[in-house]
Amino acid sequence: MGTVHARSMDPVPMHGRDLGIHPDDLEVVEAQQEPKKEVLENKNVVVQHVSIEGLGRTKEDYLGYEISDVFSAKNLIDVMKKSHEARMKLLRLGIFKDVEVLIDVSEGDDALPNGLDVIFEVTEMKRLTGSYNTMVGNNEGSMVLGIKLPNMLGRGEKLTFQFSYGTKETSYGLSFFKPQSGCYERNFILNLYKVTGQFPWSSLKETDRGVSTELNFPLWMTDHTLKWEGVWRELNCLARSASFAVREESGHTLKSALSHTMVIDSRNSAILPRKGALLRINQELAGYTGGDTSFLKEDFELQLNKPFLWGSVLSASLWGGMVLPIGGQLVSIADRFYLGGPTSLRGFGMYCIGPQSEGDYLGGDAYWAGGLHLYTPLPFCRSRGGFADLFRTHFFLNAGNLCNLNYGEGPHAHLQKLAECIRWSYGAGIVLRLGNIARLELNYCVPMGVQSGDRICDGVQFGAGIRFL
């Protein structure tokens, strides 16, 4: 809870001549302490004042909502509990380095016999901070240098500049974050960025220069994100051996898109959950706000996790999506779906299934993928709470398909095509959870249902990432 200080109703002197050298004095002190103890422990209390000390550039009205629940406490235990919750809310704002709590009896002319004052002693973050760290993405790593201006205007605003140099891409961007007073989850984000990525499975290099705005807000049990993105995309061949289909896609395009994401997440962990469910639905509409790219894109993710016997966990997941061209335009290779690899359809190469031309994978208009998993503690390891808890043995069965659609046909024909030529795989391995950052998998995979042109990984396959099928 941090440091919580509580003071007695009438503190006993601990030094000097007032310490008491006569037995009569000691008896008086003992007689006075009993009722004071009873007031704090057995009777209701009233929180009369809540204050925050140590504020510099932070506006006090911005913090009112975070500490308001402390006033509703009815006894000392409740005061301590709600003070701890308020402390965590203050730390969550990302503008304080440290927050301590002091609980004291009320003083002054308006003080009640059972009145308490709660004081939050805060230490603000520096006006300018820097950072250096490494990040793990889906089968890639990167080095990130950052400069941050926290609490720039005094109400939780944050300006961030990041430069990232990775194994597959290099990027830099400027981001402005503005939360709403009283609801940190409701916030506005403005981004300016340049991102360069290499996609060897498609012999493609993509450079994006763009601007985006996001509005995040909770609604009942769901979290929503409304986003507009305007991006100038430059596509180039990664190698001279790139296929003609990829060369046709090379050049400059301008994309302006609106998107909406809804998330319901009751999992106890996003990396390796033991229980709970996740539902994520995303829609993207491009072309109606400008640009030369027009399409409607829908995709979803569903995951269910349930504890099983002897500390094991059963998990089931399902992904799916479809992209529809608008106005007779073809969907760009950069906007199609890709499938395969250690983070999705295990036993196959990274994004190396589905439509391809001369060895270059072009993505598809529609896909689905599902998985069944059994995670168990390491065998012959009965200790709990140690290093072994980061590991799990992993048994899996994956299946999925990726294809192009003939939009002149109906939904029944589309479903029939997705049900044809299903790729699937099974296997077992070891999973390592890296805190709440990422997870590593080392699996022995047996790919089945392999189609002509698919690249497989028959045997040991290693994967690192955040989002796994």
Q: Look at the chain and report how many structural domains it folds into.
A: 2
Instruction: Examine the domain organization and report whether 174 and 99 are in the same domain.
Output: no
User: CA 242, 245, 249 angle in degrees (round to 5)?
Assistant: 95
What average pLDDT score do residues 2-25 get? 46
Instruction: Examine the domain organization and report whether 324 and 387 are in the same domain.
Output: yes
**Residue 37: which CATH number?**
3.10.20.310
Percentages of the chain per state (helix, strand, coil), in multiples of 5: 15, 50, 30
Where does a domain end: 69, 90, 124? 124
User: CA 369, 356, 329 angle in degrees (round to 5)?
Assistant: 90
How sure is the predictor about 20, in pLDDT bands with cuts at 50, 70 and 90? very low
What average pLDDT score do residues 212-216 get? 97
Rg (CA), the chain: 29
Q: How far from 43 is each of 37, 40, 425, CA to CA, in Å?
A: 10, 6, 64
Q: How far from 399 is each of 324, 364, 372, CA to CA, in Å?
A: 24, 16, 9
3-state secondary structure (DSSP) of residue 41: helix
Return the percentage of the chain with pLDDT > 70, whole number: 88
Give the integer Cα–Cα distance in Å for 38 and 41: 5
Instruction: Examine the domain organization and report whether 135 and 62 are in the same domain.
Output: no
Q: Tell me the per-residue pLDDT of 346-356, one tens digit each, with 9 for 90 and over.
A: 999 999 999 99
**Tokens for 30?**
């003992």
Instruction: Examine the domain organization and report whether 205 and 248 are in the same domain.
Output: yes
Q: Tell me the per-residue pLDDT of 145-201, one tens digit each, with 9 for 90 and over.
A: 999 999 999 999 999 999 988 777 778 999 999 998 888 889 999 999 998 888 999
Q: Tell me the per-residue pLDDT of 367-411, one tens digit each, with 9 for 90 and over.
A: 999 999 999 998 877 656 677 788 999 999 999 999 998 877 777
Where does a domain end: 124, 150, 184? 124
Instruction: Examine the domain organization and report whether 57 and 30 are in the same domain.
Output: yes
Predicted confidence (pLDDT) at residue 5 exceeds the cutoff of 60: no
Predicted confidence (pLDDT) at residue 37 exceeds the cutoff of 70: no
Structural domain containing residue 111: 4-124
Q: How far from 385 is each of 45, 369, 461, CA to CA, in Å?
A: 39, 34, 28
Q: Tell me the per-residue pLDDT of 439-455, one tens digit each, with 9 for 90 and over.
A: 999 999 999 989 988 99
**Residue 429: which CATH number?**
2.40.160.50
Return the percentage of the chain with pLDDT > 90, whole number: 55
Where does a domain end: 75, 105, 124? 124
